[in-house]
Structure 1
């Protein structure tokens, strides 16, 4: 069954949605409608560029991830922009546009006459919805890479023609014209089909990420080596070992080497009367003082580091113990409803830079998802971005005591 991507997404982001989004974001309904008129084909153009890049495996993995998106949230009668979409939006935008999503949001805001923050929120909602529509259709129709490429190639002209010229999208994406994106897609689609017909040439069209199974075996091998090392070391010494789940990698420390630094427990009282258990100088203490200070200005350079947020080794799964600080941050945001934040993920300078960036992005997104699940208003969550090791201060060969400061998840207060 054929699907018209532009029209399908217009039906999802209909007048009813625009009205609710306008009320939630404090914008005019006409401004929201105009913004979405540019955002929908823009996100699909990003998908066309991804499809024409020659990485069909990456394209199918992306759509497989997006196919689980619950796009019914847009039409089930809920109020405003679903937090479930916003939680995924930042990661998908990063995959489609790299670091250009902020520039795109600015262009949409200027074109539609709305605030950049509102445009960014709409982009974060539209990205998982658009990719979810394509991913679900691919699953339902049983499309492999070849089928998805043909689908996108057949609709590229309508998609590219729907992008408002006032956005200047070609310049933002670094191409001479949007037709260049269409030409690349057509060229790659033809080459892909030709390769598939070539005798002896196998084209893999799996929609899953089974090719990453080697990572699992690598983790198992490393775990076995660490276990053997620990057992052998235990035969010759009576040292107790503690595994600390850090923001980036797993650290192993001798518990007797240095005494743990005592932290002073305090009570942090919020404007709504709620009292939080926290540590003096911790993120709760710092953040509340900042939000209550009339002379402290918010902005993209204002960051606060989580100090009790950890993940399971090598994953973006937040440990159960970390939920306390997640809930504390959610309580703070609820008590300061004008506050808007962005989550940033960072790693140290060791290891593969690309993998570090990916892990930091996944972990930052996981925090946004957790905050949304803790009932933080979607408009207060301005996205998540993984910076990997690009801001690491310690050298890769520096002592771990220095490098661990670079492994963190941080909160940027964009408005207060």
Structure 2
């Protein structure tokens, strides 16, 4: 029987994996399922176009690499508190087979399925390597060369096209796509255009920067973290959120409208928080035995803000400070450390001082609100030394390097 890559991918993404992914991203299973129904054929079309345009060997190489990473045995574990969602090797694979289509596909999926941009990024960063791994496994088992692989993808191209769901707008992302439901696509595009003015602040889709080559790196930064550095001579990593630099203040809450939720603590306290926010993520980790404390367990505040160019917390920040204090009280074994970061703009020494002052300001606010010194072990400012985005990038791009974070040292 001929190998059907569409069926192979869909068969691999079992209900258990779907459930894990939805829980990991804080999305309804129906939305994740809808996103996958669009992402799988869209990605396969992008891979096929790469092969058809002289990149068959690159596709084969990427497929073999993906297969050798063991992703076919580890995808489920990626969707766990300690799994990271996007594999470390994903950006290179995405770059080699999809190039600058990465962000466009993620944007299209986010709009189509109604999931957060970060969720679409996670799916692209984990499912595309899975697709490549399955292709690589088939190619290896059947001794396919680049020409053989290109031919196989070309023969299934029409099936990929037919599998694209109505309403998924890939215009300008994957050239030549016609789904057989052009009117639906046109209407969806029109609806998106009409609603953009009122929904630009909803934060459910990736920012326009992801439409370019920067998407490949930012997918990893946005979801998995901003790389590692030394902290107490131990390697740590952080996932980014948006916070101020020396020269600019922008409240995190002003950029997005998020979904509210109640986070329940063991002592019966219920916190008014945001789905996917620090309270949600931190409590999920504390309740998960697989989420271990230590050097690489960091969580980023998403509603801690400062007055411009200072370490003075804004009044709205007190709510999240209070929530963290409640978490500390509910988990008496929990010990944390506060870290502060800036982007690369401005003077490095001034950035380091500001990040230190801000980290200490948050630590002191926690203690003054009832957190004990025994649970809040310290604060450290790292300035811009671990920033990844170039100084010449736009302010929107550089936001991923500006944050205040909490390290779980013991739980």
Normalised by the length of structure 1, the TM-score is 0.45
Task: Please tell me whether Structure 1 or Structure 2 has the larger radius of gyration of its CA atoms.
Answer: 1
Answer 1 or 2: which has greater helix percent: 1
Normalised by the length of structure 2, the TM-score is 0.45
